[in-house]
Chains A and B, each alone.
Chain A
Amino acid sequence: MADNQKKAAEPKLHKKHGIKVFDVVNYIVFAIIALIVIIPIWKVVVDSFNAVGVYQFRLWPSDPTFAGYLTIMSTAKLARPFINSVVTTVLGTLVGLIMSTLGGYVLNQYEMPGRSAMSYFLLFTMIFSGGMIPEYLVMKQLHLVDSMWILVVKHGMNVYNLVLMKNFFEGIPGSLYEAAKLDGCSPMQIFYKVVLPLSKAALASVGLMFAVTVWNDYSTVQIYITNPTQVNFQYMLRVMIMDGDTPTTAYKVSQNTLYYASIVCAILPFMVAYPFLQQYFVTGVNVGAVKE
């Protein structure tokens, strides 16, 4: 939505050709910035296909191999965390979406008695929390310590995203609700038949936020999970690279190749999906910060 406005604004900005130097410098500076961002990522990708550790920058693998990736796929200790990551991300996103749409929808019912109490009930959690230790003890009570489902529970409820969803829902014209109500729809039916179908972009946007959070979470695993069968890929990667806890594998693979291949696996899902979904990511930020 912001794009249309931008296109309208842009062409007029540069009618004056007075200062060419400015443009040249600008392009050069941004080329450098782009390189700074891309070189580390490129090196990681190239080295993940390189059989021996190369410590210089190479544009292309000098000794190409897939051993790193084959090792990850064939070694349970590496493949299992990846699957755990996928499962928790999918479930966490699902639970997150259910909770935030339900909550966001209900909070939009301004004529409902107790609505503001409900929103204060939610918003209080944003300003005060029990802290790391009490949270740990509660999770222990819930038998979520040492279980990967902690990732689903911990990220499944996010008040910020709930408010975001509510903001999205506010954009739905009230007349649609009224029409549905007159047709005799229950609140749940309106939610299901009117609100959700009209909010696909919002669902994509908020869903991606949940997905990124769960997929990228490392510290929750670090704090709560010690059982090696329950950890996610981020944690495994961290332990492998920082603690040097490289698993025994059937493959002959250089330590560095394996490190870099794991890094690629850890960033792959969003790197691949992101260029196509960029608009949804961007919308989420703008609705969250600007409209809130």
Chain B
Amino acid sequence: MSKDNNSAAVQVRKKPLKLRIWNNRGFYLMFLPVFFFVLIIYYWPMLGIRYSFYSYKLGKLTWVGLEHFKSMFGQKEFWLAFKNTLVISVVKLLLNTFVAVIISIFLNEMGNMFCKKFIQTIIYLPHFMSYAVVAAIFTLFLSPSSTGFINETLKNWGVIEKSIDFLHNKAMWQPIFQIINLWKETGWGTVIFFATLAGISPDQYEAADIDGATRLQKIWYITLPSLANTIIIVLILNMAKVLNIFEPVFVLYNTRVLEVSDVISTYVYRKTFLTAIPDYGYTTAVGLFKSIVGCVLMLISNEASKKVRGRGII
């Protein structure tokens, strides 16, 4: 978004500022609704950050200074949530990207255009289902009761003897969470790679054919390197948002696996909305901490993006 110094702008700058502003009055007017909307929805809440320094219980505000931050950094629960946030989101990001790359490469090798389109259409489907729906489906399927589709199927096949309580198992929760996410988002993740693959010049493959390269060699030496830049961009773009994860976890977690599933946003949610007499000041402080770390991550990603592709992400 840094096209300010294109030639047209330089020319116009000769006119006095007042005149230029007057000439653009129509545009300012058109921007007003956007301006107020953003001001109210995004900027006004920022004023609320001051509650981080207050105790805010049942409508009563008392100044406490940095107390909330002290108690936050001293809480085992908080650090657990912080750690889980990073682990869950980073694994999710890497796994989804990796599998999406594999799928797009091999689907691209498929000769039959109809089959290819058909499979693309199918694997994009789950993306349009909400997390609430996906969680509902998988909770029903994974139920340990005799109504659970997956447990009963595995029992019929003789794979297991006794139902497994998948979603309540500490060791299994994260892997299952990631599998469900793969099911939902990987197909859609391939979209961006297909666009890049479509842009690879066929000349390169022809040259490789002449050299007698095999399919796998062509994938390894031509396809994969062409995707490298896109992969890095996808990773960088999403790296900035790793702390924001809420809904995917919220719809699938439960008290028994809190230790491996509680993320910052769910921690804030529970502490604020599921506590009998909550301190909104404390949870605002946790939110502020998240915003600041998120901001730093975003700036780092921005710099990284500038290095990799010559322009920032914001």
Are the chains A and B members of one assembly?
yes
Among A128, A212, A292, which residue has its beta carbon within 8 angstroms of that of B128? A212
- State the CA gap A275–B198 with chains docked (Å): 21
A133 to chain B, nearest CB (A): 4
Contact B132 A41, beta carbon cutoff 8 Å? no
The A-B contact count (CB < 8 A) is 313
Find the A residue at minimum CB distance from B254. A242
A102 at the interface (CB under 8 A from B): yes
Count the B residues whose beta carbon is within 8 Å of the partner chain — how many? 117
Contact B183 A37, beta carbon cutoff 8 Å? yes
Residues of B within 8 A of A133 (CB): 48, 51, 268, 272, 280, 283-284, 287
Interface string of A67-111 (1 = CB under 8 A from B): 000000000000000000000000000000011001101110111
A234 at the interface (CB under 8 A from B): yes
Given contacts A129-B45, A289-B192, whether A30 and B107 have CB atoms under 8 Å apart is yes
Residues of A within 8 A of B148 (CB): 55
- State the CA gap A9–B204 with chains docked (Å): 11
Find the A residue at minimum CB distance from B200. A9
B132 to chain A, nearest CB (A): 4
A179 to chain B, nearest CB (A): 15
A253 at the interface (CB under 8 A from B): no
Given contacts A2-B194, A292-B313, whether A26 and B137 have CB atoms under 8 Å apart is no
B294 at the interface (CB under 8 A from A): yes
Given contacts A29-B106, A110-B9, A134-B49, whether A102 and B132 have CB atoms under 8 Å apart is no
B234 at the interface (CB under 8 A from A): yes
Which DSSP category, helix, strand, loop or mixed, fits chain B's interface?
helix
Interface string of B30-68 (1 = CB under 8 A from A): 110111011011111111110100000000000000000
Find the B residue at minimum CB distance from A157. B37
A193 at the interface (CB under 8 A from B): no
- State the CA gap A129–B141 with chains docked (Å): 37
- State the CA gap A281–B114 with chains docked (Å): 19
Residues of A within 8 A of B29 (CB): 188
Contact B40 A138, beta carbon cutoff 8 Å? yes
Contact A44 B137, beta carbon cutoff 8 Å? yes
Residues of B within 8 A of A219 (CB): 246-247, 250
A247 at the interface (CB under 8 A from B): no
Among A122, A123, A241, A256, which residue has its beta carbon within 8 angstroms of that of B139? A241
Find the A residue at minimum CB distance from B6. A110
Given contacts A212-B128, A275-B121, whether A130 and B46 have CB atoms under 8 Å apart is yes
Per the 8 Å Cβ criterion, residues 123-138 of B in contact with A are 123-126, 128-133, 135-138
Contact A102 B314, beta carbon cutoff 8 Å? no
Stretch at the interface among B16-24, B70-78, B81-89, B168-176: B16-24
Given contacts A12-B206, A26-B109, A56-B152, whether A234 and B130 have CB atoms under 8 Å apart is yes
B160 at the interface (CB under 8 A from A): no
Interface string of A1-41 (1 = CB under 8 A from B): 01101111110111110110011001101100110111011
Given contacts A57-B149, A187-B30, A219-B247, whether A270 and B295 have CB atoms under 8 Å apart is no
Among B3, B124, B136, B269, which residue has its beta carbon within 8 angstroms of that of A223? B269
Find the B residue at minimum CB distance from A240. B136
Residues of B within 8 A of A121 (CB): 35, 38
Q: Lowest 9 CB-CB distances: which A-B pairs, in order?
A: A134-B48, A131-B287, A130-B45, A187-B26, A216-B130, A218-B132, A270-B128, A125-B42, A134-B45
New A-B pairs, 4, CB < 8 Å, besides A103-B31, A157-B37: A109-B24, A123-B314, A191-B30, A218-B130
